[in-house]
Structure 1
Amino acid sequence: MDIVDIARTSGMTVILDGRIGRVEYQSVCGSLSALQRFADAVRHAEANRKDNRKRARQTLSRA
């Protein structure tokens, strides 16, 4: 799950604030509705991840 891409897709602006060594520090800003879309997208992505794991376990147990 690329959380920065989810933030952008949700309508938030992603800003590069700084870099220390190889680590980039970013912040996001946006409206409350963009934040709600972001939260919904993260919940949806997590639910899909859990469903995929469950299906994979079921497939392995059948084999």
Structure 2
Amino acid sequence: MQRRDILKEMDYVMETYCEDCFLRHHFRRTYGKTYAHRFCIQHCTVGENLKKIGQTLSNYY
């Protein structure tokens, strides 16, 4: 898999699942963007998937 393909996959996942995410918008309004970002990375299954995709990107180099 090339770097460009990995970035396209990450972009697709974020556009599909993160753009209209109710929890992200709720946490961002209620607690701030840092809390919402941390929640997405640590607790959301989509965030965990993005971390795995990112690991393949960092292992690519």
TM-score range, shorter chain: 0.3 to 0.5
Task: Select the structure that is richer in strand.
Answer: 1
- Superposition TM-score, scaled by structure 2 size: 0.37
Kindly indicate whether structure 1 or structure 2 has the higher relative contact order, using CA contacts under 8 Å at least 6 residues apart: 2
Task: Select the structure that is richer in helix.
Answer: 2
